[in-house]
Amino acid sequence: MRYTVTDFWTKISQLGLRQEMGTEEVRVQTTLNRVAFLAGCFVFPFAHPAINPTLATFGWIEFVSGCGFWSVLLFNSIVGFRAGACALVLTALFKIVLSASYRGVEAGEQLFFIPLLVGLMLLYFGKRFPEKWPLTILTIGAYFFLEKTRYSLLPAPPEMTARAVREVSMVNFVVSAAIVFFIAFYYSKLARKQQKDIELANDKQVALNQRLEQHLMALASSNQRMAEQEKDLILAKEQAELASRAKSEFLSVMSHELRTPLHAIIGMSGMLQESELADEQREAVATIQHSGENLFVIVDNILHWTQLDEGQLELFPEWVTPQGPLQDAIRQLGKAAADKHLTLQLHLPDMSPSLIRVDGKRLRQVLLNLLDNAIKFTTEGSVRASMTCQHLDGQLCEVEFRIEDTGPGIDPALHEAIFEPFFQTDISRTRTHGGTGLGLAVCQQLVSLMGGSLRLESEPGKGSIFIVTLQVKSTESVRYKPAQLPAPSEKPTMTILIVEDHPVNQKVAKTMLKNIGYGFAIANHGVEALEYLQKEYFPLVLMDLQMPVMDGLETTRQIRKQLPQDKQPIIIAMTANTTEEDRRATQEAGMDDFLAKPVQKARLQSMLEKWLPEQKLPG
């Protein structure tokens, strides 16, 4: 690698520099390196007599002092600039004292060292280093001491006249002033350069401040936009919540308005079928009832799918018998299977838990949908419903329900798609089965919500098997005993209070109770119900929610508040308000159970069997 004079000078100047040094320390270090190097280069030639005419022989003083100056570089590199500064001052003093004392003032060599001493003094004068005062005092003291003694320390020098002393002193003063001026000029130039650097740094700082101000303005603008967006989001959220509440209220109203006439159609047509009718009349009534039930299934599926899609459907676990929901579904669809001349089989295990904790209403809805599908798509043969229970660790139990049919079967390629909403296996104009395509989608969502699984096993021509698997808590303790209800021909032993304002619904309820074998009393609103209950004990109350004067929720709260404990009745909500909020509200008000309209005779009888064991009326 080729080095230039500039590169060499830079290397000499940077000897001993370290990364942790500050700006002032770097300046002192580089200055000492340069002064020591130049002093050594200047002194060494004067050791030769041919160059220094005042020397008769080789000048050992010049040689030693030159080596001393260069040793400063070694001190700077190894120990640091503080040791180097001390070595430089002591070397200069050594040269002045020995040279002047040994040769006398005629040599004039001390004039060379005055700039070094003054330079060091100025170098240290304004710096905050602990060595500055000793070195400065030593330098000035040595200079004035030599001037005072006229450089006569060792041998007796030649006689000096007053004029010679004045000339030497004047020359020293002039040279010192020149060196001071030179050093001042050097540092002023350095100061100007630093000033330019500072101005440049200030300009950069101003530019950075301007950019920072622009960024701050942009950030403020972004914050303002974010605040506006946040307001928009809050407004959109409020509008969405308002729309969700409006939707929920609409669903609640629609559910009530659709279920109320369906309750009358299905309930009264069911009662009418049990009366004496001609064959043609019985067929017409059966058609009415079947159509009403189909319409109820469609409406129920649409409403439930909307609630599931919005995440508004909640579960209400309760202790139920594991076979209860399946038996209810079989009882409800028995006639539909008989009308198609299908064999409807039910297989239950010999041993099973007495109770399982699950949302009985939702489980019943799933099994009812699966059985209804099996009956609808099976033209001949049978539909078989079965249940198995397997005990797991602790109180957990795995319950499996299987719905098997001998229908046409389903292509394996459609096994996943069939659970999609609104999917139809046959969308042609000649399809033989109707429906919205929501039944299986609702079933899968409900089973998933209960933490279980719903799967399909089917091949074309081999029928279909729908399997519902749930892991639930189980117990051997029995919470209630099935009621021994009186036969329809016997005189009722219990009277049930019907709290209902709609005349048609009153007629449906009292007709069903009469056919099952119970007496009844009717209250048109909550105030009448309270009057009845304060006068007479009723073991069970069928309570509508939406009524004039006093609604069902407030009536229930007043019953729980006013009646003594021994006269508290079982209160069952029988209502067309079937949203999860309505169901939760009935529990909070103090109701014991929930019956959603339309209510069929089989469902009402099952509910009465659940809550009315044999008991004596209060005396």
Residue 301 pLDDT? 67
Across residues 465-491, what is the average pLDDT? 61
Residue 426 above 60 pLDDT?
no
Q: Is 604 exposed, middle or buried (0-12, 13-18, 19+ CB in 10 A)?
A: buried
Contact 357, 318 (CB under 8 A): yes
Task: Provide the pLDDT confidence category of residue 429 given band limits of 50, 70 and 90.
Answer: very low
Which of these, 101, 112, 91, lies nearest to 45 by C-alpha position?
Answer: 112
- Distance CA(261)–CA(547), nearest Å, equals 16
Residue 431 pLDDT? 42
Share of the chain above pLDDT 90, in %: 13
Outline where DSSP puts E strands in 193-243: none
Which is it for the CA torsion 67, 73, 74, 79, positive or negative?
positive
Residue 187 pLDDT? 59
Entry pTM: 0.45
Share of the chain above pLDDT 70, in %: 70
**Mean residue pLDDT across the chain:** 76
According to DSSP, the β-strands at 570-575 and 540-543 are parallel
> Which of 128-132, 192-196, 363-367, 420-424 tops mean pLDDT?
363-367
Across residues 357-376, what is the average pLDDT? 86
**More confidently predicted of 557 and 420:** 557
Across residues 404-408, what is the average pLDDT? 89
Lowest-confidence pick of 89-93, 379-383, 431-435, 544-548: 431-435
Lowest-confidence pick of 77-91, 108-122, 285-299: 108-122
- Distance CA(100)–CA(545), nearest Å, equals 125
Residue type, 245: R
**What tens digit of pLDDT does each residue of 155-166 get?**
544 555 566 556
Residue 615 pLDDT? 43
Task: Provide the pLDDT confidence category of residue 202 given band limits of 50, 70 and 90.
Answer: confident
Which of these, 335, 313, 402, 416, lies nearest to 600 by C-alpha position?
Answer: 335
Lowest-confidence pick of 93-97, 125-129, 442-446: 125-129
Across residues 541-564, what is the average pLDDT? 92
Residues 6+ apart with CB under 8 A from 57: 49
Lookup result for tokens 């489980």 = 363
Write the secondary structure of 453-490 as one string of H (helix), E (strand) and C (coil): EEEEEECCCCCEEEEEEEEEEEECCCCCCCCCCCCCCC
- Distance CA(430)–CA(217), nearest Å, equals 69
Residue 459 pLDDT? 85
> Which of 88-92, 326-330, 412-416, 517-521 tops mean pLDDT?
517-521
The three-state secondary structure class of 61 is helix
Residue 487 pLDDT? 43
Prior bond of 598 cis (ω within 30°): yes
Residue 571 pLDDT? 94
